Homo-oligomer: A and B are copies of this chain.
Amino acid sequence: MAMTGRHFVKFTFLKLDPSWRRRDPADRARDKAEFAAACNDFGEDHFLRAYSLVGTRGDTDLMIRCSAPALDPIHELHVLLNQSGLMRYAEVSQSYLALTKESVYSDEPQPLQPREGSDRKYLIVYPMWKKREWYQLPPEERMRIMRGHIEVGRRYGSIEINTAYSFGLDDQEFVVSFNADDPAEFLDLVQELRGTESSAYTESETPIFTCISASVERALDALDGETVPAVQA
């Protein structure tokens, strides 16, 4: 079984302890700069994007999405993040580990590389589990049901979907993420999908995170409303 081309994808959500905001502005600036340096180092050779969740969620403030062909660089990135001042006041509030894999249902491209759509304004992410009944269906039946699902999606052409697989690696079965510029359009798509046959086979698809695309520095700035100093990576 050739593994060529499959990539690990990691979504790391952080929640700052309120006490971090009691630190001196200079200390906070250094805390953020160290965190940004680790991200930017990794980003030189690998895919890494940052997102702010300030104002969209209450249980998390910042998300780092990164990808690599092996687990080692992702492990090392997180070791480096642990060295930053910021992680002395932050918890990993949610964490999703997944792998890319060719879909049996569609010609969906694999999100190995930051694809065209990745600069959309929002990334919407959620872990997903299907009911066990789904897996008992014959393949052609599952194919038929998924086609109905995909057809609805095609009518919302500006929404891009990335599916990653977590079976056996993490709690969820899939990590699904969407690039979108207009959250209202995405809402309408999801509401319409509720009526499809495939929807009845969903066991769980929460929590749902509306993530605001940002540079690492801007996502860090949103934590305390102050500008992170220039970082030399």
Contact = CB atoms under 8 A, between A and B. Distances in A.
Kindly report how many copies of this chain are found in the complex they form together.
5
Contact of A71 (B169, B183, B207, B226): B183
B97 A75 contact: no
A124 to B, nearest CB: 6
Interface of A: 1, 3, 6, 8, 10, 12-13, 17-19, 21-22, 52, 54-59, 71, 74-80, 82-83, 87-95, 97, 99, 101, 122, 124, 132, 135-136, 165-171, 178, 182-191, 194-195, 199-200, 202, 206-208, 210, 212, 221-226
A50 to B, nearest CB: 14
Given A18-B91, A57-B95, A185-B3, A132 B199 contact: yes
B3 A182 contact: yes
Given A19-B88, A78-B54, A167 B183 contact: no
Contacts of A1: 184-185, 188
